[in-house]
Amino acid sequence: MPLSMNREVFITCAVTGSGDTVSKSSHVPITPKQIAEAAVEAAKAGAAIVHCHVRDPETGAPARRLDLYREVTDRIRSADIDIVLNLTAGMGGDLIFGNVESPLPLNDKGTDMAGATERVAHVAECRPEICTLDCGTMNFSLGDYVMTNTPSMLREMARQMTALGVRPEIEAFDTGHLWFAKQLVEEGLIEDPVLIQLCMGIPWGAPDDLNTFMAMVNNVPSNWTFSAFSIGRNALAYPAAAILAGGNVRVGLEDNLYVGKGQLATNGQLVEKAVSVIEGMGAKIIGPAEVREKLKLTKR
Protein backbone atom coordinates (compact mmCIF):
# COMPACT_ATOMS: atom_id res chain seq x y z
CA MET A 1 0.00 0.00 0.00
CA PRO A 2 1.24 3.54 -0.65
CA LEU A 3 2.83 5.26 2.33
CA SER A 4 0.69 8.14 3.57
CA MET A 5 0.38 9.47 7.09
CA ASN A 6 -2.93 8.71 8.79
CA ARG A 7 -4.65 11.94 9.84
CA GLU A 8 -7.59 10.31 11.66
CA VAL A 9 -6.31 7.78 14.17
CA PHE A 10 -8.01 5.44 16.60
CA ILE A 11 -6.31 3.98 19.65
CA THR A 12 -6.74 0.41 20.87
CA CYS A 13 -5.71 -0.35 24.45
CA ALA A 14 -4.80 -3.98 25.21
CA VAL A 15 -5.38 -3.85 28.92
CA THR A 16 -4.07 -7.14 30.36
CA GLY A 17 -3.05 -9.88 27.90
CA SER A 18 -2.18 -13.44 28.85
CA GLY A 19 1.56 -13.13 29.45
CA ASP A 20 3.44 -13.56 32.70
CA THR A 21 3.24 -9.88 33.58
CA VAL A 22 1.23 -10.00 36.81
CA SER A 23 4.38 -10.66 38.86
CA LYS A 24 6.19 -7.76 37.16
CA SER A 25 3.68 -4.96 37.73
CA SER A 26 0.90 -4.42 40.24
CA HIS A 27 -0.91 -2.32 37.62
CA VAL A 28 -1.78 -5.35 35.44
CA PRO A 29 -5.51 -5.99 35.98
CA ILE A 30 -6.50 -9.51 37.05
CA THR A 31 -10.13 -9.73 38.16
CA PRO A 32 -13.09 -8.92 35.88
CA LYS A 33 -13.73 -5.78 37.94
CA GLN A 34 -10.11 -4.65 37.56
CA ILE A 35 -10.09 -5.42 33.83
CA ALA A 36 -13.32 -3.48 33.27
CA GLU A 37 -12.01 -0.56 35.34
CA ALA A 38 -8.81 -0.57 33.27
CA ALA A 39 -10.90 -0.52 30.09
CA VAL A 40 -12.86 2.49 31.35
CA GLU A 41 -9.63 4.23 32.39
CA ALA A 42 -8.22 3.68 28.90
CA ALA A 43 -11.39 4.96 27.22
CA LYS A 44 -11.43 8.11 29.35
CA ALA A 45 -7.79 8.70 28.38
CA GLY A 46 -8.64 8.53 24.66
CA ALA A 47 -8.85 4.88 23.53
CA ALA A 48 -11.77 4.05 21.24
CA ILE A 49 -11.26 0.27 21.46
CA VAL A 50 -10.31 -1.95 24.39
CA HIS A 51 -8.84 -5.39 23.75
CA CYS A 52 -9.47 -7.80 26.61
CA HIS A 53 -8.24 -11.16 27.82
CA VAL A 54 -9.38 -12.64 31.13
CA ARG A 55 -7.34 -14.09 33.98
CA ASP A 56 -7.99 -16.44 36.87
CA PRO A 57 -8.99 -14.02 39.65
CA GLU A 58 -7.11 -16.08 42.26
CA THR A 59 -3.82 -16.71 40.48
CA GLY A 60 -3.62 -14.17 37.65
CA ALA A 61 -3.00 -16.99 35.15
CA PRO A 62 -4.59 -16.65 31.69
CA ALA A 63 -8.08 -18.16 31.46
CA ARG A 64 -10.81 -18.98 28.93
CA ARG A 65 -13.77 -19.15 31.34
CA LEU A 66 -17.07 -17.92 29.92
CA ASP A 67 -18.24 -16.53 33.25
CA LEU A 68 -15.17 -14.26 33.44
CA TYR A 69 -15.72 -12.98 29.90
CA ARG A 70 -19.40 -12.43 30.64
CA GLU A 71 -18.62 -10.39 33.74
CA VAL A 72 -15.98 -8.28 31.98
CA THR A 73 -18.36 -7.65 29.07
CA ASP A 74 -21.30 -6.72 31.31
CA ARG A 75 -19.18 -4.38 33.41
CA ILE A 76 -17.74 -2.59 30.37
CA ARG A 77 -21.13 -2.22 28.70
CA SER A 78 -22.68 -0.80 31.85
CA ALA A 79 -19.90 1.80 32.23
CA ASP A 80 -20.57 5.52 31.92
CA ILE A 81 -18.45 5.87 28.77
CA ASP A 82 -18.75 4.49 25.25
CA ILE A 83 -16.17 1.81 24.33
CA VAL A 84 -15.77 -0.54 21.36
CA LEU A 85 -15.18 -4.01 22.83
CA ASN A 86 -12.56 -6.33 21.31
CA LEU A 87 -12.18 -9.78 22.90
CA THR A 88 -9.28 -12.13 22.26
CA ALA A 89 -9.90 -15.49 20.63
CA GLY A 90 -6.24 -16.36 20.75
CA MET A 91 -6.30 -18.96 23.49
CA GLY A 92 -6.88 -22.68 23.02
CA GLY A 93 -3.99 -23.22 20.61
CA ASP A 94 -1.15 -23.58 23.12
CA LEU A 95 1.12 -26.53 22.44
CA ILE A 96 4.06 -27.33 24.73
CA PHE A 97 6.30 -30.24 23.77
CA GLY A 98 8.05 -32.46 26.31
CA ASN A 99 11.71 -31.70 25.59
CA VAL A 100 14.20 -31.79 22.73
CA GLU A 101 14.88 -35.53 23.07
CA SER A 102 11.35 -36.63 23.99
CA PRO A 103 8.87 -34.19 22.44
CA LEU A 104 6.02 -36.59 23.20
CA PRO A 105 4.07 -36.86 25.40
CA LEU A 106 3.16 -33.19 25.45
CA ASN A 107 3.68 -31.18 28.60
CA ASP A 108 0.25 -31.03 30.21
CA LYS A 109 1.23 -28.02 32.32
CA GLY A 110 0.43 -25.32 29.81
CA THR A 111 -0.75 -27.27 26.77
CA ASP A 112 -4.27 -26.07 26.02
CA MET A 113 -5.73 -27.29 22.74
CA ALA A 114 -9.40 -26.66 21.99
CA GLY A 115 -11.63 -26.97 18.95
CA ALA A 116 -12.83 -24.01 16.91
CA THR A 117 -16.28 -23.81 18.50
CA GLU A 118 -14.82 -23.90 22.02
CA ARG A 119 -12.25 -21.25 21.11
CA VAL A 120 -14.98 -18.83 20.06
CA ALA A 121 -17.58 -19.86 22.66
CA HIS A 122 -17.06 -16.65 24.65
CA VAL A 123 -17.44 -14.64 21.44
CA ALA A 124 -20.80 -16.31 20.80
CA GLU A 125 -21.76 -15.72 24.44
CA CYS A 126 -20.70 -12.06 24.70
CA ARG A 127 -21.01 -10.83 21.08
CA PRO A 128 -18.26 -8.19 21.16
CA GLU A 129 -18.02 -5.86 18.20
CA ILE A 130 -14.52 -7.18 17.38
CA CYS A 131 -12.56 -10.33 18.25
CA THR A 132 -9.03 -11.31 17.32
CA LEU A 133 -7.89 -14.05 14.97
CA ASP A 134 -4.18 -14.97 15.28
CA CYS A 135 -3.54 -15.75 11.65
CA GLY A 136 -0.80 -18.37 11.80
CA THR A 137 1.35 -20.81 13.76
CA MET A 138 4.70 -19.71 15.20
CA ASN A 139 7.41 -20.46 17.73
CA PHE A 140 6.45 -18.10 20.54
CA SER A 141 9.01 -16.91 23.06
CA LEU A 142 11.46 -19.52 24.38
CA GLY A 143 11.49 -23.21 25.24
CA ASP A 144 9.13 -25.75 23.68
CA TYR A 145 5.97 -23.64 23.27
CA VAL A 146 4.30 -23.31 19.88
CA MET A 147 1.27 -21.10 19.18
CA THR A 148 -0.79 -23.26 16.85
CA ASN A 149 -3.38 -22.01 14.39
CA THR A 150 -3.73 -24.39 11.45
CA PRO A 151 -5.31 -23.31 8.14
CA SER A 152 -8.36 -25.49 8.82
CA MET A 153 -8.76 -24.07 12.33
CA LEU A 154 -8.43 -20.48 11.09
CA ARG A 155 -10.95 -21.03 8.31
CA GLU A 156 -13.53 -22.42 10.73
CA MET A 157 -12.94 -19.77 13.40
CA ALA A 158 -13.21 -17.02 10.77
CA ARG A 159 -16.42 -18.57 9.44
CA GLN A 160 -17.96 -18.68 12.92
CA MET A 161 -16.90 -15.12 13.79
CA THR A 162 -18.38 -13.77 10.56
CA ALA A 163 -21.60 -15.75 11.06
CA LEU A 164 -21.92 -14.23 14.55
CA GLY A 165 -21.68 -10.73 13.10
CA VAL A 166 -18.41 -10.05 14.94
CA ARG A 167 -15.61 -8.29 13.04
CA PRO A 168 -12.40 -10.38 13.11
CA GLU A 169 -9.25 -8.41 13.80
CA ILE A 170 -6.52 -10.38 12.06
CA GLU A 171 -3.38 -10.57 14.21
CA ALA A 172 -0.37 -10.84 11.91
CA PHE A 173 2.96 -11.73 13.52
CA ASP A 174 4.83 -12.25 10.24
CA THR A 175 4.41 -11.79 6.49
CA GLY A 176 3.08 -15.32 5.95
CA HIS A 177 0.19 -14.51 8.27
CA LEU A 178 -0.74 -11.62 5.98
CA TRP A 179 -0.56 -13.96 3.01
CA PHE A 180 -3.04 -16.34 4.63
CA ALA A 181 -5.27 -13.46 5.75
CA LYS A 182 -5.62 -12.48 2.09
CA GLN A 183 -6.66 -16.06 1.37
CA LEU A 184 -9.38 -15.93 4.05
CA VAL A 185 -10.70 -12.71 2.50
CA GLU A 186 -10.55 -14.18 -1.01
CA GLU A 187 -12.57 -17.19 0.17
CA GLY A 188 -15.22 -14.90 1.65
CA LEU A 189 -14.59 -16.04 5.23
CA ILE A 190 -13.74 -12.48 6.32
CA GLU A 191 -15.85 -9.65 4.98
CA ASP A 192 -15.06 -6.02 4.22
CA PRO A 193 -13.97 -3.81 5.84
CA VAL A 194 -10.94 -5.90 6.77
CA LEU A 195 -9.23 -5.03 10.06
CA ILE A 196 -5.68 -6.10 10.83
CA GLN A 197 -3.19 -5.72 13.67
CA LEU A 198 0.52 -5.82 12.87
CA CYS A 199 2.21 -7.42 15.89
CA MET A 200 5.88 -6.49 15.85
CA GLY A 201 8.84 -7.57 17.94
CA ILE A 202 7.31 -10.72 19.42
CA PRO A 203 9.82 -13.61 19.50
CA TRP A 204 9.99 -15.27 17.01
CA GLY A 205 7.81 -13.41 14.59
CA ALA A 206 8.60 -10.26 12.66
CA PRO A 207 11.26 -8.09 14.35
CA ASP A 208 10.28 -4.49 14.95
CA ASP A 209 12.96 -2.71 12.92
CA LEU A 210 11.54 -0.23 10.42
CA ASN A 211 12.57 -2.19 7.34
CA THR A 212 10.63 -5.24 8.50
CA PHE A 213 7.72 -3.09 9.63
CA MET A 214 7.47 -1.47 6.22
CA ALA A 215 7.64 -4.88 4.57
CA MET A 216 4.59 -5.81 6.65
CA VAL A 217 2.82 -2.52 5.84
CA ASN A 218 3.55 -2.92 2.13
CA ASN A 219 1.82 -6.31 2.21
CA VAL A 220 -1.40 -4.82 3.61
CA PRO A 221 -3.93 -4.12 0.82
CA SER A 222 -4.75 -0.42 0.50
CA ASN A 223 -8.44 -0.94 1.32
CA TRP A 224 -7.73 -2.65 4.67
CA THR A 225 -7.57 -0.82 8.00
CA PHE A 226 -4.52 -1.62 10.09
CA SER A 227 -3.05 -0.85 13.48
CA ALA A 228 0.41 -1.70 14.75
CA PHE A 229 2.32 -2.13 17.97
CA SER A 230 5.61 -3.41 19.30
CA ILE A 231 6.43 -4.86 22.67
CA GLY A 232 9.14 -3.89 25.13
CA ARG A 233 11.63 -1.07 24.66
CA ASN A 234 10.32 0.08 21.27
CA ALA A 235 6.65 0.09 22.27
CA LEU A 236 6.59 3.81 23.00
CA ALA A 237 8.05 4.64 19.57
CA TYR A 238 5.55 2.60 17.58
CA PRO A 239 2.59 5.01 17.73
CA ALA A 240 4.64 7.44 15.61
CA ALA A 241 5.77 4.71 13.21
CA ALA A 242 2.23 3.37 12.80
CA ILE A 243 0.74 6.79 12.07
CA LEU A 244 3.45 7.72 9.56
CA ALA A 245 2.86 4.42 7.76
CA GLY A 246 -0.87 5.12 7.46
CA GLY A 247 -2.08 3.04 10.38
CA ASN A 248 -3.64 3.26 13.80
CA VAL A 249 -2.22 2.78 17.28
CA ARG A 250 -2.28 0.06 19.92
CA VAL A 251 -0.82 0.45 23.40
CA GLY A 252 -1.49 -1.16 26.78
CA LEU A 253 -0.11 -3.36 29.51
CA GLU A 254 -0.42 -6.49 27.37
CA ASP A 255 2.44 -5.13 25.28
CA ASN A 256 4.51 -2.90 27.54
CA LEU A 257 4.66 -2.27 31.29
CA TYR A 258 6.55 1.04 31.28
CA VAL A 259 5.72 4.66 30.50
CA GLY A 260 9.36 5.70 30.86
CA LYS A 261 12.66 4.16 31.92
CA GLY A 262 12.03 2.41 35.21
CA GLN A 263 8.51 3.90 35.47
CA LEU A 264 5.74 1.31 35.66
CA ALA A 265 2.67 2.45 33.73
CA THR A 266 -1.08 2.19 34.02
CA ASN A 267 -3.16 1.59 30.91
CA GLY A 268 -4.44 5.14 31.12
CA GLN A 269 -0.93 6.56 31.17
CA LEU A 270 0.04 4.57 28.07
CA VAL A 271 -3.03 5.85 26.23
CA GLU A 272 -2.24 9.42 27.33
CA LYS A 273 1.29 8.98 25.97
CA ALA A 274 -0.14 7.82 22.63
CA VAL A 275 -2.57 10.74 22.56
CA SER A 276 0.29 13.20 22.99
CA VAL A 277 2.21 11.59 20.12
CA ILE A 278 -0.80 11.55 17.79
CA GLU A 279 -1.80 15.12 18.48
CA GLY A 280 1.80 16.28 18.41
CA MET A 281 2.07 14.93 14.88
CA GLY A 282 -0.96 16.94 13.80
CA ALA A 283 -3.40 14.02 13.55
CA LYS A 284 -6.90 13.77 14.97
CA ILE A 285 -8.00 11.06 17.41
CA ILE A 286 -11.33 9.49 16.51
CA GLY A 287 -13.72 7.98 19.03
CA PRO A 288 -15.95 4.91 19.26
CA ALA A 289 -18.79 6.27 17.10
CA GLU A 290 -16.42 7.14 14.26
CA VAL A 291 -14.69 3.76 14.57
CA ARG A 292 -18.03 1.97 14.31
CA GLU A 293 -18.86 3.91 11.17
CA LYS A 294 -15.45 3.25 9.65
CA LEU A 295 -15.45 -0.48 10.41
CA LYS A 296 -19.22 -1.03 9.98
CA LEU A 297 -19.66 -2.25 13.53
CA THR A 298 -22.99 -2.67 15.31
CA LYS A 299 -23.07 -1.25 18.83
CA ARG A 300 -24.21 -3.78 21.41
pLDDT digits (tens, 9 = 90+) for 221-280: 999 999 999 998 899 999 999 999 999 999 999 999 999 989 999 999 999 999 999 999
Residue 117, pLDDT > 90, answer yes
Sign of CA dihedral 131, 168, 210, 248: negative
User: How much is the mean pLDDT over the chain?
Assistant: 95
Q: Rounded to 5 degrees, what are φ and ψ at 22? A: -60, -40
What is the per-residue pLDDT for 109?
86
Q: At 210, phi and psi to the nearest 5?
A: -65, -30
Rounded-to-10 torsion of CA 1, 4, 206, 138:
-50
Q: Please tell me the least confidently modeled range out of 52-61, 140-149, 212-221.
A: 140-149
pLDDT-above-70 percentage for the chain: 99
pLDDT of residue 47: 98
For residue 238, the model assigns a pLDDT of 97
Mean pLDDT of 54-69: 96
pLDDT of residue 219: 95
pLDDT exceeds 70 at position 1:
no
Residue 299: which pLDDT band, with cuts at 50, 70 and 90?
A: confident
Region 201-207: mean pLDDT is 94
Which residues, listed in sequence order, are joined to residue 172 by a DSSP beta bridge? 198
pLDDT > 60? residue 281: yes
> Are the C-beta atoms of residues 162 and 168 closer than 8 Å to each other?
yes
Question: E strand or H helix at 272, and its extent?
Answer: helix 267-280
User: How far apart (Å, rounded) are the C-alpha atoms in residues 144 and 178?
Assistant: 25
Going by C-alpha positions, the residue among 220, 156, 214 that lies closest to residue 194 is 220
Please give the pLDDT value at position 298: 86
Contact 179/209 with Cβ under 8 angstroms?
no
Residue 21 predicted with pLDDT over 70 = yes
For residue 65, what pLDDT band results from cuts at 50, 70 and 90?
very high
pLDDT for position 171 = 97
Question: Could you tell me where the beta strands, DSSP code E, fall in the chain?
Answer: 8-9, 11-14, 49-52, 54-55, 62-63, 84-87, 93-96, 112-113, 130-134, 138-139, 145-147, 167-172, 195-200, 225-230, 248-251, 258-260, 263-264, 284-285
> What topology is assigned to 8-295 in CATH?
TIM Barrel (3.20.20)
Tell me what pLDDT residue 113 has. 94
Render pLDDT for 153-203 as a digit per residue (tens, 0 to 9): 999 999 999 999 999 999 999 999 999 999 999 999 999 999 999 999 999
